Structure 1
Amino acid sequence: MTAQDTIFEARRGAMTGLAYRMLGSRADAEDVVQDAWIRWRGVETDAVTNPAGFLNRVVTRLCLDRLKSARARREVYVGEWLPEPVVDEDHQDLGEDLSVAFLLALERLTPLERAAFLLHDVFDAPFADVARTLGRTEAACRQLAARAREHIKAGKARYRPSAEEEQRLTSAFLAAALGGDESVLRGILAQDVVMHADGGGVVSANLNPVFGLEKAVRLLLGIKKKWPNPDGTVARLARINGAPGLVLSCDGVVFQTMGLEIVEGRIAAVYTMRNPDKLARLNS
């Protein structure tokens, strides 16, 4: 392995983490990193005084280019858009704070706000580097990051459940959702629980978020009755974007993930991914 290869591989996890947060897709993030590798091979690395800054700049600009077409696709996306789930140990090389709530908060930012916030607040890039990356003044980048910071507060987890709490609630949710146990569901879901789902227009899923305990219980019981899981379904506990969750598969093929957000002893949000395109990586 050459010195150039070594530098790039040392930064691969951070670059993938940056691209995933920018794009909400692990597959697209890996494509961006591959494109960054091609560009990295074309430079004289001895002349690059700050490889980390240089590579972050390349990845960010590639992501901004991709976001232009991604935004257009999402305008015609069928139903709610959720980020591609990152399951179990697959998240370890991407860094901390990959919660779905955080990623959805990032989605509400403009691309430049997202880039400025991620580069400075998450990846510790000085504003001089952020300005160079975005082609803006340092003052403008500070304003972009400040606006992003205000919007992003709602996506930051303010409660950290214990491991025991996660295990108890996730196991109870698994049994109750699959078994259609209404009383258990009422005992573990928060009054203001929100049910999110992404079917991408390919498979059945609620098109809009469902708010509140009563509607959430009706939704889960209705799904159990009208669209039961196929025979031979296997469900297991998992980590979904660093949070507790479930993975459902049949004949070895994952067809659904469910990430849970736990707040003060109750499940406050459920993020269900059914879009097969976003589950493809789990079946590769």
Structure 2
Amino acid sequence: LGCLAGVALFWEGIYGEKANEIKGVWKGSATLPCAYVPVEGLVQQTLSWAVEHDKGEGTIFRRDDQGDHILLSEYRDRVSVPKDAPGNVSLRILNLEISDRGIYTCHVTWRDSNYSLIAKEITTNLDVVKVAATKPIIRGGERGLTLPAGASTSLSCEASGSPPISYRWFRGSPAGKAALLSSGAELAWHSLRLSDSGTYFCEAHNRIGNGAVQRSDAVQLTVTGESKHSYHTERKEPNPAELPGHQALAEALWCFSQQWLTGGNSRGTAISAADNH
């Protein structure tokens, strides 16, 4: 009786006697809670999850000494129960459908040291809803939003809501003029250029509700460094006379050239006069 009371107190103390209310997002996932504290002397014998909804009722999942069994085909490859967490027998449902709405019952039996069976169950109401896309968030690459020319990077647009969610990328101000760049959740550059510096934002929408478009806040992408073209066009060849250590040499060469020119002019004048004689 002590063991039985221990299980019962935990079961009711955690979840109470009323059914849980779980709301899942269409095409998303949901976990229906069911757990107990393992008690020495009690051994779990069976676990089952059953459902009652518009399609009817039946057992979805059963675990016994033969293993796990999924008994309703519409849940195959979509449901699972933890195996390596003693006492945690919660049901996880993937890729939720509207038809998954209903009442789910978790039923567990234990065997005590006298080979008597103890049974407990708890119910959960699951509602599946379609949710409009939320305001998207832009996430930058690992290197941030300031990068050198030639680097590669990407921006990702993330919004929650019922799929499918469509994304579009723009360059410019969300409140002013903007140019449409591409569609898709990611905007990528394989080799950044200086001209890629600018303001970017994205939009997200799905067909839920009025299908309103949600717009992100803008982010500033900054590309640093000179391009190869600007380096060559603006490069100035150094004047040797202006370089440190070359000033004395430059002055000596200038003096030599002046002396050579002066001597050349005198010699030229003398030859010309001799020829006239």
TM-score (norm 1): 0.22
Q: Which has the larger radius of gyration?
A: 2
TM-score (norm 2): 0.22
Structure of higher RCO (CA pairs closer than 8 Å, 6+ residues apart): 1
